[in-house]
Chains A and B, each alone.
Chain A
């Protein structure tokens, strides 16, 4: 074996723990690993502080009991399991509910400034599916506060950050993960990272749909990297469509309208002024879970009761204008500047937008370990906590609870592991793959292929699904996969987004195939997965999860039983009327 140490062709960095992704989960993992004394590297596709976490608006869910004394981890656990329609990993839901309050307090101690209650504690607001007022927030820019706090903490502790660097392949030493290969976006040069542990914190896959709240980075890289390295993916059919994205004008279609608008009292109406949630969920109304509200809006529009541009009306104008500007400042500006709408006076037009991936890398509940030794995952890239549908506010808490745990577990693993050796043949292959689009002439345009993939997913694997559509989607994705072997790009390797898209597209093709296969298999409707041909819960499917893995060149799908919940937790769920 020709180890890369004997090869000075590539810039090489060595770490105990390499973290891919610098959103909330990646940064929290890095902070924890640093606190344990490990040598930590963080790689991110964008500049530090620009990761998708920055866009999170409404808040971070934690049973702090500052506003509702009756809250507690048990209630948060119950709401999370109910929201996820009981296919969540119970242990993750329990850990999450028990630890999120500590993680919020820790953010405050690191300098985060949340909105306050009259007695000076952290203020909490109502949100869909949460029984109590539970979301700690900073107006409607909670994610920015969180990422800046974590970023500053990491900088203070002295982590190495490789900004605008994209990973294209995980490197292995036998069965275990041994590092990663990537390129600098700035100059296109290749770089090798050697690491005893690798944590994937790359976020979601929303860019595979055209109407999405996600940024360009959310192309499922981490999921595809893990899959290619032999790891299992779980629950890939559960893709969350947030009920309220902007629908007009076209350029901002999909842009998020925070659930905090409804949390603060916003009302949904159809074109005849009817408060239609009365027909879909009379008890919770606008604060029903996201899957239900998204389906309700979609149905209203489809049945001809939508707004001019194909959405529903969301109205907060009955609240005092100053209150709206104070609690929803970025919504106020977003609509004013991009849509010429003053939300203190007029309703917003909103419709579903692809928002969040409940599925992802299959991990252990305690430490985020994937099925490949040395590989860990946390945050949106990992699966299990949210089951079939995530509650608003449970993502930011997920990031810090499981980011910390993955960082800890990655250090533990690194401590008992010898330095890996990396076979240079893997690297040569990774380089060959990246350079291929420059060598082809007049091949496929990566942007146009991406657009085709997005159309397929929107039309055939969106909010409502059927066997026929999904089968067609799978077929179309297969054709795109073949065409993607003929992608070509001009220009140089210097900051060349078209070239970057060639690689991102490959990740998206892998994850969309996994989504479609899992969606086909689950012949029932549950949470975010709605099958028109199987509209009801199926008790058999209620007890199993879909697992995707690589078998040779093909994608293998199997079912595994959901984790068996201890009796005392089962009793908690039975405590009050279920969903």
Chain B
């Protein structure tokens, strides 16, 4: 059976270097299987975060040959075998150890987002067509690969001004919920910094759930922000009629 060489980052926030491990290849093997092989036979203390190994939990994100991927869904036979396969932790988050990064910043951003709040006296009926649109956003498994590739975070390190694609998806799921009664446009503008996104679609490209992050979440949210804060006619109409959600 053929062997592959994994070139894995070993280290902590204080630095580190890659180490090579040879792994026998089995049919259908994914990168996470290979990492488990390394743990079992070569380096029992190799730090890897994973849970379901089925693409459903979004824990095992890493950069495989420079591409951000879920290691549980990356087939070894999809990678060139004649050269070492490099596996590094996600770049946009601080390394804890080896392939495990500190993603706690995401949980802090999430806390800022007001939860679903039904409109008063609402009837709990929704059509599938209305629900479909939101269910796309609810597919998110929080692998944070979109956060990892977003250049606002990755290159410009604007973690303190910007929420990142994951949380635009979350806000979109709330804002477009057929029965929701809260507006989050002020939060999007001021705290999540949606204006910083210049729709390069890097996030959409890496999403393992194939959520159309840019087209279906970010652009409609940007439009809502524009409507609420920068469109004088609409503002006037709303002021007179009292229509629409109150922007918070």
- A138-B135, A497-B47 are contacts. A54–B56 as well, Cβ < 8 Å? yes
Binary flags per residue of B191-219, CB closer than 8 Å to A gives 1, else 0: 00000000000000000000000000000
With the chains together, A116 CA to B131 CA distance in Å? 8
With the chains together, A51 CA to B138 CA distance in Å? 17
**Is A478 engaged at the interface, CB distance under 8 Å to the other chain?**
no
User: Which residues in window 80-128 of B have CB below 8 A to A?
Assistant: 96-98, 100, 102-104, 107, 110-111, 114-116, 118, 124-128
Give min CB distance, B230 to chain A, whole Å: 29
Give min CB distance, A189 to chain B, whole Å: 13
- B residues in contact with A153, CB < 8 Å: 115
B127–A116 contact, CB under 8 A? yes
- A residues in contact with B135, CB < 8 Å: 113, 138-139
- B residues in contact with A337, CB < 8 Å: 55, 73, 75
B118–A494 contact, CB under 8 A? no
B51–A110 contact, CB under 8 A? no
Binary flags per residue of A281-307, CB closer than 8 Å to B gives 1, else 0: 000000000000000000000000000
User: Which residues in window 482-498 of A have CB below 8 A to B?
Assistant: 489-492, 494-498
- B residues in contact with A250, CB < 8 Å: 26-29
User: Which residues in window 86-112 of A have CB below 8 A to B?
Assistant: 105, 108-111
- A110-B116, A250-B28 are contacts. A494–B127 as well, Cβ < 8 Å? no
A251–B51 contact, CB under 8 A? no
- A113-B131, A152-B115, A491-B44 are contacts. A251–B28 as well, Cβ < 8 Å? yes
User: Which residues in window 32-82 of B have CB below 8 A to A?
Assistant: 33, 39-40, 44-59, 73, 75
Least CB separation from A111: chain B residue: B116
- A113-B138, A251-B30, A338-B28 are contacts. A216–B50 as well, Cβ < 8 Å? yes
- A residues in contact with B102, CB < 8 Å: 186
- A55-B57, A144-B56, A494-B12 are contacts. A249–B118 as well, Cβ < 8 Å? no
Instruction: State the interface size on chain A (CB cutoff 8 A).
Output: 67
**Is B139 engaged at the interface, CB distance under 8 Å to the other chain?**
yes
With the chains together, A155 CA to B106 CA distance in Å? 13
- A residues in contact with B29, CB < 8 Å: 249-251
Q: How many A-B residue contacts, CB cutoff 8 Å?
A: 164
Interface stretch of the complex, out of A8-16, A376-384, A440-448, A556-564 = A440-448
A497–B39 contact, CB under 8 A? yes
Q: Is the interface of B mostly helix, strand, loop or mixed?
A: loop
**Is B145 engaged at the interface, CB distance under 8 Å to the other chain?**
no
Least CB separation from A249: chain B residue: B28
- A252-B28, A497-B47 are contacts. A115–B131 as well, Cβ < 8 Å? yes
A-B contact pairs, 9 of them (CB 8 A): A46-B49, A54-B57, A116-B127, A121-B124, A123-B128, A186-B97, A249-B28, A334-B55, A445-B44
B52–A215 contact, CB under 8 A? yes
- B residues in contact with A256, CB < 8 Å: 54
A490–B138 contact, CB under 8 A? no
A111–B177 contact, CB under 8 A? yes
Residue from B12, B55, B110 in contact with A333 in the complex, judged by beta carbons closer than 8 Å:
B55
Least CB separation from A45: chain B residue: B51
B28–A50 contact, CB under 8 A? no
- B residues in contact with A553, CB < 8 Å: none
With the chains together, A113 CA to B118 CA distance in Å? 13
**Is A70 engaged at the interface, CB distance under 8 Å to the other chain?**
no
B26–A251 contact, CB under 8 A? yes
Binary flags per residue of A431-453, CB closer than 8 Å to B gives 1, else 0: 00000000000000111100100
B26–A113 contact, CB under 8 A? no
- A116-B127, A152-B115, A495-B100 are contacts. A490–B44 as well, Cβ < 8 Å? yes
Give min CB distance, A103 to chain B, whole Å: 14
- A residues in contact with B56, CB < 8 Å: 54-55, 141, 143-144, 330
- B residues in contact with A496, CB < 8 Å: 44-45, 47
Give min CB distance, B16 to chain A, whole Å: 12
- B residues in contact with A491, CB < 8 Å: 44-45
Question: Of A52, A338, A446, which is in contact with the most chain B CB atoms at under 10 Å from its CB?
Answer: A338
- A residues in contact with B51, CB < 8 Å: 46, 50-52, 54, 215-217
**Is B225 engaged at the interface, CB distance under 8 Å to the other chain?**
no
Binary flags per residue of A163-207, CB closer than 8 Å to B gives 1, else 0: 100000000000000000000001000000000000000000000
With the chains together, A113 CA to B55 CA distance in Å? 21
- A residues in contact with B226, CB < 8 Å: none
**Is A48 engaged at the interface, CB distance under 8 Å to the other chain?**
yes
With the chains together, A50 CA to B49 CA distance in Å? 11
**Is B134 engaged at the interface, CB distance under 8 Å to the other chain?**
yes
Residue from A110, A120, A334 in contact with B127 in the complex, judged by beta carbons closer than 8 Å:
A120
**Is B174 engaged at the interface, CB distance under 8 Å to the other chain?**
yes
B58–A186 contact, CB under 8 A? no
**Is A7 engaged at the interface, CB distance under 8 Å to the other chain?**
no
**Is A241 engaged at the interface, CB distance under 8 Å to the other chain?**
no
A48–B107 contact, CB under 8 A? yes
Least CB separation from A338: chain B residue: B28
With the chains together, A54 CA to B135 CA distance in Å? 15
**Is A49 engaged at the interface, CB distance under 8 Å to the other chain?**
yes
User: Which residues in window 226-257 of A have CB below 8 A to B?
Assistant: 248-252, 255-256
**Is A156 engaged at the interface, CB distance under 8 Å to the other chain?**
yes
Binary flags per residue of A486-530, CB closer than 8 Å to B gives 1, else 0: 000111101111110100000000000000000000000000000
**Is A148 engaged at the interface, CB distance under 8 Å to the other chain?**
yes
**Is B20 engaged at the interface, CB distance under 8 Å to the other chain?**
no
Residue from B39, B138, B180 in contact with A145 in the complex, judged by beta carbons closer than 8 Å:
B138
Q: Can you add 13 more A-B contacts, CB < 8 Å, to A492-B45, A498-B44? A: A54-B141, A55-B57, A108-B124, A113-B135, A145-B138, A249-B29, A250-B28, A338-B30, A490-B45, A495-B47, A495-B100, A496-B44, A499-B45
With the chains together, A3 CA to B131 CA distance in Å? 55
With the chains together, A115 CA to B131 CA distance in Å? 7
A50–B57 contact, CB under 8 A? yes
With the chains together, A141 CA to B52 CA distance in Å? 13
**Is A339 engaged at the interface, CB distance under 8 Å to the other chain?**
yes
Give min CB distance, B34 to chain A, whole Å: 9
With the chains together, A490 CA to B45 CA distance in Å? 7
With the chains together, A252 CA to B131 CA distance in Å? 32
